[in-house]
Amino acid sequence: FLNRESITLYEANLLEEQMKGDSTKCPVSLRPALENANALVICTGTTAFPTKAWTKSESNSGVAGDVIKALVDNSFDVKKAISALDEQGFNTPNNIDALSNLYLVNAWKDACKVPRKRLIMLSSIGVQRRDQMPFPILNACGVLDAKAKGEAAIQAAAEKDGFSYTIIRPGQLFGGPYDNNYYLGTLFQLDKDAKTQDVEVAVGDTLVGDTLRSTLAEVTAQICEGDFARDMDFA
């Protein structure tokens, strides 16, 4: 992306921006990206379990010490420990998949000067099956709970403000690029051969399996270009 003249990169630390004050206002750095955006694709996310992705900045070495301290301080109650990390501003599932997703929806509303038409959120399989194995394991630190909150916020905003939404629930992401070593799929450079690259979709949250990043990107682009899958969710 950085080498394409047609693409401009705008960046913002979403947690820092929210802590500054009004969480309904768009940060200055994102206004040029959102003010003329008829559609918005939200693909923010963090890891299901504590990794370097949870750190407050890329310069930090990791979160192992912070996680252990939070567990000790909260008598090894996992939910309370995670809540403590939430309050300290780490990139936890609740702070990213729930609060930051809502923040982006609010920022879009505040900044956009043209009619808002489409919002697409990349979520995860298992959000509607959090009590069915193996998803309780994946949800041990609340990542599926957080994504469920993010989905609900988007659906509520779409109904209130009159734009269409689409929620896509991919499985474990496979394939390149491999420059993010916080995930198993990128750490081990997992990919699929040509025989296993078929695509299966279903309304709701009923499928299991893995998803190629390139396939997910293509599906998302086709939804935007073809104006498909309005006001629905699928895996």
The predicted structure's pLDDT at residue 2: 59
Q: How far is CA 81 from CA 8, 108, 140, 141, 150, in A?
A: 38, 32, 12, 10, 21
Q: At what angle do helices 78-87 and 64-73 cross, to 10 degrees?
A: 120
Q: Compute the half-sphere exposure of residue 234: CA atoms within 13 Å on the CB side of its CA.
A: 15
The predicted structure's pLDDT at residue 208: 86
- 53 contacts 182 by C-beta, under 8 angstroms: yes
Name residue 25's amino acid.
K
The predicted structure's pLDDT at residue 83: 94
The predicted structure's pLDDT at residue 130: 93
The contacts of residue 137 (CB under 8 Å, 6+ apart) are none
Q: What is the mean pLDDT of each run of 10 residues along the chain (235 residues)?
A: 72 84 85 92 90 76 86 93 92 93 93 94 93 93 94 94 94 71 57 64 86 86 87 90
The predicted structure's pLDDT at residue 95: 93
Give me the phi and psi of 118, to 5 degrees please.
-135, 140
The predicted structure's pLDDT at residue 40: 92
- 168 contacts 234 by C-beta, under 8 angstroms: yes
